[in-house]
Structure formats: C-alpha cells, structure tokens
Amino acid sequence: MHEMSIAAAVVEQVNAAARDHGAPGVARVRLQVGELAGVVPQALDFCFELACAGTLVAGAVLQTESVAARARCTPCAVEWPVGMPPDLGCPSCAGGSVELLTGRELQILDVEWAERPGVQADQKG
C-alpha cells in the first residue's frame, strides 16, 4: 500500500513546516491528487491519520481535491478527458502522439495552522 508512504511523506513535510513556523499544530492539510496518480482516497485518509500520531499534524483534517485526467493530441491539438481506464488515443485523428496534461498531480496545496494544539478544521473533505 503506497498510500502509507505518501501519507508519511506529507506528514513529515507538514510537521517540519509547522515547527519552522512555530505553529502549535495543524488544523487542515489540502492535497491535490490526480486521478491517474494511483491513490485510493479512503486508504490515504486512513494512512494519514496513522502517520499523524505523535506529530504536530495529529488531529488535522486531510482534504483531497481530485484532478481529472486530460490529454492533448500533439499533431491535431485536440484535448479530451482521459477517463478511467485511461484512453490515450486521439478521438479526432486516432493519432498516438499524446501529451498528458493533467491527472498525475500529487502535491500539498496548502496547510491551515491550528490556533491551539489538536484543534481541527470545521469539515473533512
């Protein structure tokens, strides 16, 4: 399950940033996850909670924003949603020279610092 290594890396980065900023804790972490990144959101939520234990990130809400996969045909410049399972053949010219525009993202968008240790944000996403 690579979600655990992803969660651990996110927690490590956010925990270090919280220490650097002198924050007493973290309320929310917002991630952008592409649909082709191979991440199962429910598994990531579970692993994130485990990885947070004993850190400044403990009790934080993990909010993930999904990014749809889109591709563009290099010869004819047509763009289309890739979908699942991925369809990387151009729907216009059937060309095979394709550029994946979005869908592989996996990044921390932002972090909300807590006012006090262990304070959560209002909602979970």
Domains of the chain by residue range: 1-68+103-120, 70-102
Candidates 39, 37, 30; CA nearest to 57 is 30
Candidates 66, 65, 63, 64; CA nearest to 121 is 63
Candidates 33, 24, 104, 18; CA nearest to 63 is 33
Candidates 30, 20, 31, 24; CA nearest to 58 is 24
pLDDT score recorded for residue 102: 96
Query: Is 1-68+103-120 a domain of CATH 3.30.2320.50?
Result: yes
pLDDT score recorded for residue 5: 97
pLDDT score recorded for residue 124: 39
For the chain, 125 residues long, give each residue's pLDDT as a single digit of tens: 699 999 999 999 999 999 999 999 999 999 999 999 999 999 999 999 999 999 999 999 999 999 999 999 999 999 999 987 777 788 888 877 899 999 999 999 999 999 875 555 554 34
The angle, 0 to 180 degrees and rounded to 10, between the axes of the packed helices 2-21 and 41-52 is 50
First to last CA, the chain: 21
User: CA-to-CA distance for 44 and 94, rounded, in angstroms?
Assistant: 36
Answer whether 62's CB lies under 8 Å from 29's CB: yes
pLDDT score recorded for residue 118: 56
pTM: 0.82
User: CA-to-CA distance for 26 and 63, rounded, in angstroms?
Assistant: 13
